[in-house]
Chain A
């Protein structure tokens, strides 16, 4: 795909994001988009957000569970970029009117204290480079109509990233079994679903190592201080006005988030 086409789709996704509306799947219009093309479209989309004033604060890893990989017909995760405009703090209420068709995922986030330069990064390097882990919610959102995504669509659309919120309880991965730590998700005071760290590529550290190696190949820096959302350990939960979610990571702590307003697709 030439630069002109890459820019066209990156700009289209940026406009859709800014105007809270959806566009038809890219793959329906350009059946030959490769994964590499899709990442170039993502970079253009993010470049537009950065030019408009945001900064890159981290990465998200998606498509980390077997059911999602089977659904999309891929055998590896994907990634997107976290920007300063996506950040909420624990206790904040997330304004759904800023989103289109949001769903929540409970995850473990990593914050690095050292750069991770792939290729050649292992899960052991990830633990060594990790400052702390923290329970978090990623609110995924899609600029593609009705979430009708193939892998190229979601990658181009910044891995369907919406906003995210980190919990306040920080843990040391040397003191916590991040692979076997349970994940309990409650919605409006009732148990919704459960999961475990191993749901993410066998261990969340494996997903972060995959990201370091993938970024290394693409020449994208992976810096100390960045936040990495390591992949969903829960079911996807559609959220509406008034919903409250709590996720608890066994041996670590919780992250609580409330929602208000109406998302664009519900308005």
Chain B
């Protein structure tokens, strides 16, 4: 993918400040392309990279990355042929079985994902699924809390990328497993909200195989001049559709072979 940046440095900083404000003070903003209709994917990633630089400068620690738009349905919906990526910091991490406040979120939704922890650094381009599996220390189940900061869920890919792929919170947990002991393609997943099944699927929903999403993420990182370092925590994209949550909701994600991850939402 070509990362063609058309915005001036000044505009990138301006948009970054707008996104950072929306993220840290939890308010909705219009999609960025309303003001910059010519914004490219490269511009979106330039804003995201500036956001990452600022967070790291404020002392946040980069713990990994996430792939988004990894299901055929979502890609068709957004009219794209590649997933998007976003970065993850320690400030977004929440422990398993914890109470997650929605006070600092706009309209949070949760998705079930297979997460990878890497033991070797991966560099694109041309990273393959097999290279990902060989570089993986272990996999574990995760729930991502996404939160689009755009009003009324009106957004396009460029705006979503600038908003760090709607990343907000994440919870890893369950049971760590070696990839060679699993069929990562056919893992069944059930999400329960307040004791009722609300969505379910199998891991092939993510680009046919979750490791495929990690390979594509590594290749997008290469386009940005980045690598995926050993030790990274990487979420491969939603197996299930995103489910809205509000204070009082309790979530349990149950994964075949990987155990479960739970959390509850509070004011």
Contact = CB atoms under 8 A, between A and B. Distances in A.
Interface string B223-267: 000000000000000010000000000000011110000000000
Contacts of B70: none
A162 interface: no
Contacts of B72: 191
A25 B202 CA distance: 36
Given A182-B187, A191-B208, A177 B257 contact: yes
Nearest to B239: A194
Interface string B170-197: 0000000000000101111110000001
Contact of B202 (A66, A179, A184): A184
B188 A196 contact: yes
Interface in A192-207: 194-199, 202
A158 interface: no
Contacts of B185: 184, 248, 250
Interface in A134-178: 177
B190 A196 contact: yes
A194 B243 CA distance: 17
A261 to B, nearest CB: 29
A250 B197 contact: no
A25 to B, nearest CB: 31
Contact of B200 (A184, A196, A248, A249): A196
B204 A198 contact: no
B236 to A, nearest CB: 14
A251 B257 contact: yes
B205 interface: yes
A248 B188 contact: no
A136 to B, nearest CB: 16
A232 B175 CA distance: 29
B255 to A, nearest CB: 7
A264 interface: no
B201 interface: yes
A33 interface: no
B203 interface: yes
Contacts of B256: 177, 180-182, 196, 250-251
Interface string A190-232: 0100111111001000000000000000000000000000000
Contacts of A183: 186, 188, 202
Given A248-B186, A250-B188, A251-B183, A194 B257 contact: no
B204 A180 contact: no
Contact of A184 (B197, B204, B254): B204
Central interface residue in A194, A198, A250, A251, by most chain B CB within 10 Å: A194
Nearest to A234: B202
B185 to A, nearest CB: 6
A126 B72 CA distance: 37
Interface in A45-74: 66
Nearest to A202: B197
Given A180-B255, A180-B256, A194-B205, A250 B183 contact: yes
A248 B197 CA distance: 22
Given A180-B256, A191-B208, A251 B201 contact: no
B155 to A, nearest CB: 26
A191 B188 contact: no
A177 B257 CA distance: 8
Interface string A112-129: 000000000000000000
Contacts of B239: 194
A43 B218 CA distance: 59
Contact of A198 (B186, B187, B190, B257): B190
A1 B202 CA distance: 45
A187 to B, nearest CB: 12
A169 to B, nearest CB: 12
Contacts of A66: 197
A181 B197 CA distance: 15
A182 B208 contact: no
Contacts of B205: 191, 194
B202 A196 contact: yes
Contacts of A198: 188, 190, 197, 200, 254
24 contacts: A66-B197, A180-B189, A180-B256, A181-B186, A181-B188, A181-B256, A182-B202, A182-B203, A182-B204, A183-B186, A184-B202, A184-B204, A194-B201, A194-B239, A195-B200, A195-B201, A195-B202, A196-B188, A196-B190, A197-B188, A198-B197, A198-B254, A248-B186, A250-B202
Interface of A: 66, 177, 179-184, 191, 194-199, 202, 248-251
* 9 nearest CB pairs, A to B: A182-B202, A250-B186, A182-B188, A196-B188, A194-B202, A180-B256, A184-B204, A182-B186, A194-B201
Given A182-B188, A195-B202, A250-B257, 7 more contacts: A180-B254, A180-B257, A184-B202, A194-B202, A250-B183, A250-B186, A250-B202
